[in-house]
Amino acid sequence: MSRISVLDLQKKKADNQKIVMVTAYDFTLARLMDMAGVDMVLVGDSLGMVVQGQSDTLSVTMDEMVYHTRCVHRALQHAHLTADMPFMSYQLSPEQALASAGRFMKESGAQSVKLEGGERSAPAIARLVEAGIPVVGHVGLTPQSVHTMGGFKVQGRDTAGADRVVRDALAVAEAGAFCVVLEGVPMDVAAEVTARIPVPTIGIGAGPSCDGQVLVGTDLLGMNLSFQPKFVKRYAKLEETIVNAVHAYADEVRVGAFPEEEHSFTRKTPRTVGKIY
Ligand code: KIV
């Protein structure tokens, strides 16, 4: 089976079919996401928070992103694989962006890369597109700018902010991005962007009008029940399931109930007890 291409994704907008994107960072979860038939898997730099336990995404390196993207690549048979360009891997110049994106394409199995920022990132996006590298844009709440935004805050709530989000999305689409993630923006702003740009919008905390939706895989699976932002819907409570399962295992080990005979091996030939030399 071949992987979903950039053209397939763009056609979905034309055909009015929603695009389903999730994040994954490892082989096991990526395989399950692929089996569930998602359209796109994003190896997000959110792995800094989800996998590494950092408080933001800023410290994530290119080496870490390439490593995790390779793990996910081995799992996917169907979904399109895109990978996040980490902080400071593309901000210096369009040439730096090209070198970083080129590394993803050569070493990781990614079919496209995602980078944050609107008007200011347009030259970098244009350079990658010119070199034949498909780009996903990302505007609105851009986590790599957490300190500029004063936290992970919804963007575009006032008129000037909403205008900025729209201008950013237009600039990114104009630069050649084949789709645009809209994160943390009011739903009417997302609806306006979705109507005005020719490429698909993928929303997270951006309301129902986007051409697709993305959620962090561990959020939608409820693997951290103490983390419940407004934009997340949990489709499972795996935190409870996993903790209960590991509790049951620990209890059985402690009372000697595991392993049983069915989990143990027998010899092929009888054992003669005695000296072995
Ligand atoms: O890093 C990430 O997981 C993301 C998504 C939330 C869009 O950028």
The pLDDT tens digits of the residues spanning 61-110 come to: 999 999 999 999 999 999 999 999 999 999 999 999 999 999 999 999 99
Please indicate whether residue 41, judged by its CB atom, sits closer than 6 Å to ligand 1.
Answer: no
* Distance of alpha carbon 135 from alpha carbon 178, whole angstroms: 6
Calculate mean pLDDT across residues 140-162: 98
Half-sphere exposure of 136 (CA within 13 A, CB side): 32
The CA-based dihedral angle spanning residues 68, 74, 79, 81, taken in that order and rounded to the nearest 10 degrees: 40
The three-class DSSP label of residue 261 is helix
Q: What angle do CA 171, 99, 34 make, to 5 degrees?
A: 75
What spacing in Å lies between the alpha carbon of 195 and ligand 1's midpoint? Answer: 23
Q: May I ask the CATH architecture of the domain 6-237?
A: Alpha-Beta Barrel (3.20)
How many helices and strands, by DSSP H and E, does the chain display?
11, 8
Q: How confident is the model at residue 275 (pLDDT cuts 50, 70, 90)?
A: low
Domain locations along the chain: 6-237
- pLDDT band at 277, cuts 50/70/90? low
pLDDT of residue 28: 98
- Give mean pLDDT, residues 228-232: 94
| Rama region for 184: left / alpha / beta (φ>0; ψ in -120 to 50; rest) | left
Tens of pLDDT, residues 13-70: 999 999 999 999 999 999 999 999 999 999 999 999 999 999 999 999 999 999 999 9
Tokens of 95: 């040439």
Length of the chain in residues, anyone?
Answer: 277
Distance 65 CA to ligand 1 centre (A): 13
Residue 1, pLDDT > 80, answer: no
Quote the pTM value. Answer: 0.96
* pLDDT (mean) for 154-167: 98
H or E element in which residue 242 lies: helix 238-255
- Give the Cα separation of 79 and 91 in Å (integer): 28
Helix%, strand%, coil% for the chain, nearest 5: 45, 15, 45
| 272 has a pLDDT exceeding 80 | no
Q: Is the pLDDT of residue 174 over 70?
A: yes
For residue 271, is pLDDT > 80?
Answer: no
Any residues with CB less than 8 A from the CB of 171 and at least 6 apart, and which? 118, 119, 122
Counting residues of the chain whose pLDDT is more than 90, the rounded percentage is: 95
Whether 30 is in the pocket of ligand 1, judged by its Cβ within 6 Å, is no
The Å distance, Cα 112 to ligand 1 centre, comes to 14
The residues annotated as belonging to the active site are 183
